[in-house]
Amino acid sequence: MDLNAIAHTLDEAQAQARETEQLDAELHIDQAYEIQSKILAARTERGENYIGPKLGFTSKAKMEQMGVDNIIVGFLTDSMHHAAGEPLSLEGLIHPRIEPELVFKIGQEITPTEGEGAEELATRLREATTHVAAGMEVIDSRYKNFKFSLADVVADNTSAAKFIVGDWQEFPREVAGLDVKFLIDGEEVGSATTDAILGNPLEAFNQLAEMILKYGFEVPAGAIILAGSVTAAQWLKPGQNIEAHIEGFEPLQVTIAG
């Protein structure tokens, strides 16, 4: 399997907003992470800056919606950031969906030390976290019909397309058990508590630590980490008004242009 060629195909599909075929069923998950890092290298080469990792499939709602059963990690770059309050254009996207997330901000660079275990690394990640915010992620699988295997979606940078971050609150603060309501045009399309994320969103640090040790994800100073969607994702259409309400946070709202 030519991992460089696959990375190139997926990178082009994203850049040109074109659907592409699912990958070889034989593709191993480790190879999928290799493809993903090649895509990051290509995007960095084009001038994008790495911002931090994003977790996916940390809630049952998401795993069930997409028919997968494992946590995944992707990368965020500065070009994926969409300023809160600005209308969001769907141009350059294939078949975008949107989902409500919790976002953590890490104050200092965290790299695993020699022989460090996941538990210790997770504690350091949590202790280095300075802020938390309500967020939304726009996902846009590059695969036809938004259908993929676990290895497919990992190779495709976990469908990452855009992310929006609401007002930062200082961390530590309570992040477990908060009510979440997801609305489109004023109608509730999803509701849960933040515990939908791994039973407690703080568990995201443990999962991330394990993935860092396994696949080498970087956490630079000021890194932004998406903990994963709380509810199932919703299709985006021009003209919609999307709201994510997380108890104790300013409601986060975005209007879709068109």
Binding site for Mg ion (CB under 5 A): 137, 229
Per-residue interface string for the shown chain with ligand OOG, residues 201-220, x marking contact by CB under 6 A:
--------------------
51 contact partners, CB below 8 Å, separation of at least 6: 75, 76, 77, 78, 80, 81, 220, 223, 224
Q: Which residue has the tokens 């469908």?
A: 159
Q: Which stretch binds ligand OOG (CB under 6 A): 5-13, 55-63, 180-188, 198-206?
A: 55-63
Q: Measured between alpha carbons, how far is 143 from 162 in angstroms, rounded to an integer?
A: 17
Q: Measured between alpha carbons, how far is 53 from 219 in angstroms, rounded to an integer?
A: 7
Is 62 near ligand OOG (CB under 6 A)? yes
Please give the full DSSP string across 109-151, using - where no structure is assigned: -B-PPTT--HHHHHHHHHHTEEEEEEEEEEE--SBGGG---HH
User: Which residue minimizes CB distance to Mg ion?
Assistant: 137
Instruction: Specify the DSSP class assigned to residue 175.
Output: -
Q: Which stretch binds ligand OOG (CB under 6 A): 13-21, 25-33, 134-142, 248-256?
A: 134-142
Q: Which stretch binds ligand OOG (CB under 6 A): 33-41, 133-141, 240-248, 250-258?
A: 133-141
Structure token digits, residue 183: 């609305």
38 binds, among ligand OOG, Mg ion, none (CB under 5 to 8 A by kind): none
Is 228 near ligand OOG (CB under 6 A)? yes
In 140-233, DSSP assigns E strands to 160-165, 169-170, 179-184, 187-193, 224-229
Is 183 near ligand OOG (CB under 6 A)? no
Q: Which residue has the tokens 């990051």?
A: 40
As a residue count, the chain comes to 258
Least Cβ distance, residue 117 to ligand OOG (angstroms): 26
User: Which residues ranging from 87 to 116 are in contact with ligand OOG (CB under 6 A)?
Assistant: 99
* The binder of ligand OOG chosen from 90, 98, 106, 139 (CB under 6 A): 139
Is 141 near ligand OOG (CB under 6 A)? yes
| Interface ranges with ligand OOG (CB under 6 A) | 56-57, 62, 66, 99, 137, 139, 141, 153, 158-159, 228-229
